[in-house]
Structure 1
């Protein structure tokens, strides 16, 4: 027998079966489980935060309606009353009722300033949220009042 005929009699090479991905090694099960727990905790945190801030989103929507109403009728005093009512409503949702419900005038302005760390609540535009809005000679600055209301809704610390 020659070498050529001996080689022809050999069977072809058989490759082993490909390595399967299943079953996973225990380490991968641990990584998968931890990933799932982390995702669930992150979703719980995000949903909780989203629910806690729902009142802010509603307040911003109401503020847009108040601005549209002002643009339609041009009544500055009504705008100041509406902004004050909206801020009080938001404050009652964010803070304990017994601390907020009785505030008015300068106490109300101090609370708004402290809760948002915004010193502009001592300016003349913010005075329209206090008792000055009832004075007939008080001139209201609608743009500043809108800006103050918007910033307090977004930035107050509840």
Structure 2
């Protein structure tokens, strides 16, 4: 028998399925994908946490801007009594927003100043307290800058 007759008797060669070099992935690629997903999830959580913190603290920035506006008005038209009253009202608004309104809204006089001192630890502004109380007495001639700076400090650093 010759070789060509033998070759004709053979069945055709079955070629294997082509190997996809991209699939299935090695286990390392799965671990890398999982790691990337975890990092993206952590970044997403950090961004959301920062956004919530910024939103919770937005009232501080607004209050500071209003205090600065009142200070500029005072410098243009010096009315000490008006400055002290508006700053005190602003402090009350901030306190109502930052704390339980039912416990803060009714505070006045000594209890109000005790609350302010309690919510701003390591700060004892007797001068600001005297200025606020002296507005009810004749001869109101104290420099209200100390009160203004106390208000700024309280708005920025009070514990809520």
Task: Indicate the TM-score class for this superposition, using the shorter chain for normalisation.
Answer: 0.7 to 0.9
Tell me which structure has the larger Cα radius of gyration: 2
Q: Name 2:158's counterpart in structure 1.
A: 156
Matches within 5 A, 1:78-157: 78-121=82-125, 123-129=126-132, 131-157=133-159
Matches within 5 A, 1:3-152: 25-121=29-125, 123-129=126-132, 131-152=133-154
Say whether the 8 Å CA contact 1:125–1:140 is kept in structure 2. no
What is the alpha-carbon distance in structure 2 between the residues aligned to residue 139 and residue 120 of structure 1? 21
Q: Helix, strand or coil: the match of 1:25?
A: helix
Which structure exhibits the higher relative contact order, with contacts defined as CA atoms closer than 8 Å and separated by 6 or more residues? 2
Listed one character per residue, the Cα deviations across residues 65-109 of structure 1 (whole Å, up to 9, x for unaligned) are: 100110111011111101101100100100111111111111111
Q: Helix, strand or coil: the match of 1:157?
A: coil
Number of aligned residue pairs: 137
Which runs of at least 4 in structure 1 moved beyond 3 Å after TM superposition?
A: none
- Alignment TM-score, normalising by the size of structure 1: 0.80
- Alignment TM-score, normalising by the size of structure 2: 0.79
Say whether the 8 Å CA contact 2:131–2:142 is kept in structure 1. yes
Displacement of 1:140: 2.5
For structure 1, list consecutive stretches of 5 or more residues without a partner in the other structure: 1-18
Say whether the 8 Å CA contact 2:113–2:129 is kept in structure 1. yes
For structure 2, list consecutive stretches of 5 or more residues without a partner in the other structure: 1-20
